[in-house]
Structure 1
Amino acid sequence: MTALELWPIVTVLVGILGLLVGSFLNVVVYRVPNGMSVVAPPSACPGCGSEIKPYDNVPVLSWLALRGKCRSCKEPISARYPLVEAGVGVFFAVVAVWWWLVSSASATSTSAVVANVLVLVAFLWLAGVSVALALIDLDTHKLPNAIVLPSYLVGGILLAAAGILNSDIDALIRAGIGMAAMWLAYFLMAMLYPGGMGFGDVKLAGVLGLYLGFVGWGALLVGAFAAFFFGGLYATGLLLARKAGRKSGIPFGPWMLIGAWTGIFFGTALWNSYLSLLGVA
């Protein structure tokens, strides 16, 4: 089977993995902010306390089969659960397509193949973390260290190993610079404007800079700018709708994450187009 024939199969499998990860992320989003273990006790209905059986825990399908209600007490189950599961499934599939387009998909050497797989795993980790952090920040205005800090280790190890296997030292240098630059920029903003930027944002900025820098300079610059662009649009919308005042705080983590993924997916093309307009590329 050729690499081109394998691509759709990998995308479908990654999408299915995303459905399963999405189911787990629903647990993470609820339990981590409350200081609870994500592995024990087993998931249960918040209404009657009945443990959720494996056949009632199939992503999306179980919610549809149960018509959005607990099997035991008929307590409504929020539509957010299947939406998160389906959304993560689609997100993972999109990441797989992006990875295929930007990686050396035709590589045949063992080291290149392993490197490509490591890059895919690294960005799937970021995708899962992005969904969890965005939802938690929207719910609680917090970005838990339990999720953010391990991402430095996971992302750093996977991307460093991929860069070494591909002999792409430039990518590792960019990743290091991106991590340090975005962390420092957000740290300075947090110090100068404590009410507008939290240290959770600072720590997340370093993780996003690591990934953006690994992709390229264009991705780093576009991803860093896009966070403020999207966040500004959202804040302006709230002001116009009179749902927030000039001093109202908004969770910035989701916009950092949306900006980062804009940079990852489109940053290189957008930056090259901008340079072309300037006549320097």
Structure 2
Amino acid sequence: MIVFIGACLGLLCGSFTNVLIARVPSGEQWRTGSSRCPNCRTDLAWYDNIPVLSWVLLRRRCRHCHEPISARYPVVELTVAIVFALVADVFGTSALAVALVYLAVITVALTAIDLEHRRLPDALTLPAYPVLAVAIAIYAGMENEWWILARALIGAAILGGVYFALWFAYPKGMGFGDVKAAGMLGLALGAVGWSAVAVGAIAGPLIGGVVGVAVVIRSRRARGVAIPYGPWLIAGAWLGILAGNWIGHGYVDLVTGGLS
């Protein structure tokens, strides 16, 4: 039931995530105002704004201007719903789960924006630091384990520090937005555990490397291919958050079993 409720909330929050994706890059107001058609800018009635379902019933077109509506909208809504459901399954209804579903909205929005605009807006990344820190502090206080907060801050320093060093060494190879996003993700990874930090830190470059090689092979040229790194950094972090402890324990068991 918790997973089902999480998925339903994720669908609703996925609709809001689409608002962030559409408005934040252009500097539009996203805190107020109704959802509207991206083509004719007509405000949408509630029955035309039901996550996924309205897109299907309208046959992927706006009711007013009849222009096609991108499949990105239902994909984003379903993605947020899936991540919410996974967070609910792994972390239940804890304060940490609340912090992570907030992170889900921010990171899905950042992924879509980076894929389309090649940037990670400060308007989404920077406010996430205090929001996550407060939520993690509440979680640590409720668990009476203040080391959780300290570990989260260390995680942010490690991941942010590593990517800052990479950016400083070769600024043309990475945007500073990736550095700020890395620190934000490090907070969440540290709150989950050291295994999450390790898996999240390693998985991002691995996923990015595989994608980069695939893009180069497909384009048949090694130079001049622009590949946004933010989505793969985020994907690696989520692997660490959701499965890092399981992967870490499995690795330790494999190593200790082989040595025994």
What TM-score, normalized to structure 2? Answer: 0.93
Write the letter of the residue equivalent to 1:223.
G
3-state secondary structure, aligned to 1:195:
helix
Measure, in 2, the Cα distance between the counterparts of 1:169 and 1:182. Answer: 20
Question: Within 1, Cα distance between the matches of 2:31 and 2:221?
Answer: 38
Q: Alpha carbons of 1:243 and 1:20: their partners in 2 closer, same or farther (altered >3 Å)?
A: farther
Aligned pairs for 1:84-99 within 5 A: 84-99=76-91
Alignment-derived partner of residue 34 in structure 1: 26
Contact 1:141 1:251 in 2 (8 A): yes
* Cα distance change, pair 39–244 in 1 and its aligned pair in 2 (3 A): farther
1:270 to 237, 243, 247: 247
Q: Kindly provide the amino acid, as one letter, of the partner of residue 123 in structure 2.
A: A
Q: Following TM superposition, by how much is the alpha carbon of 1:129 offset from its aligned partner in structure 2, in angstroms? A: 1.0
For structure 1, the 5+ residue unaligned runs are: 1-7, 101-115
**Greater CA drift, 189-198 or 60-69:** 60-69
Count residues in correspondence.
Answer: 258
Measure, in 2, the Cα distance between the counterparts of 1:236 and 1:26. 30
- The Cα shift of 1:97 comes to 0.6
User: Which shows bigger deviation, 64-73 or 138-147?
Assistant: 64-73
RMSD between aligned residues? 1.7
Query: Structure 1 residue 22: deviation in Å?
Result: 0.7
Where does residue 177 of structure 2 map in the other structure? Answer: 200
Q: Once the two structures are superposed, what CA deviation does each residue of 1:193-234 show, in whole Å capped at 9, x if it has no partner?
A: 111111101111111111111111111011001000000000
Match of 1:182 in 2: 159
Instruction: Give me the whole-angstrom Cα distance separating, in 2, the residues matched to 1:50 and 1:187.
Output: 43
Moved over 4 A (4+): none
State the distance in 2 between where 1:240 and 1:134 align: 23
Hey, what's the Cα distance between the residues in 1 that align with 2:140 and 2:67?
50
2:201 is matched by which residue type in structure 1?
A: A
- 1:69 is aligned to 61
Task: Give the structure 2 partner of residue 255 of structure 1.
Answer: 232
Q: CA deviation at 1:87?
A: 2.1
Q: Is 1:126 equivalent to 2:118 in the alignment?
A: no
Structure 2 residue runs of 5 or longer lacking an equivalent are none
* More deviation, 206-215/223-232: 206-215
Q: Is the CA contact (8 Å cut-off) linking 2:195 and 2:245 kept in structure 1? A: yes
- The Cα of 1:69 is off from its aligned counterpart by 1.2
Equivalent residue for 1:45, pick from 12, 32, 37: 37
Supply the distance in 2 between the matched residues of 1:238 and 1:37 (Cα, whole angstroms). Answer: 35
The one-letter code sitting in structure 1 at the alignment partner of 2:160 is W
Does the 8 A contact of 2:86 with 2:242 survive in 1? no
One-letter amino acid of the counterpart of residue 132, structure 2: G
> How far is 1:247 from its partner?
4.9
Which residue pairs with 2:198 in the alignment?
A: 221
CA deviation digits over 1:14-69, x for unaligned, max 9? 21111111111111101100010113443332433332112111111111221111
2:118 aligns with: 141
Aligned to 2:141: 164
What amino acid is aligned across from residue 136 of structure 2 in structure 1?
L
The amino acid of 1:68's aligned partner reads R
CA positional deviation for 1:167: 1.1
Cα distance change, pair 243–92 in 1 and its aligned pair in 2 (3 A)? farther
Flag the 1:40–1:273 CA change in 2: closer, same or farther, 3 A.
closer
Given that 1:196 and 1:249 are in contact with CA atoms closer than 8 Å, whether structure 2 keeps it comes out as no
Counterpart amino acid of 2:7?
G
CA distance in 2 between counterparts of 1:244 and 1:23 reads 38
Specify the SS of the correspondent of 1:142: coil
Amino acid at match of 1:194: P
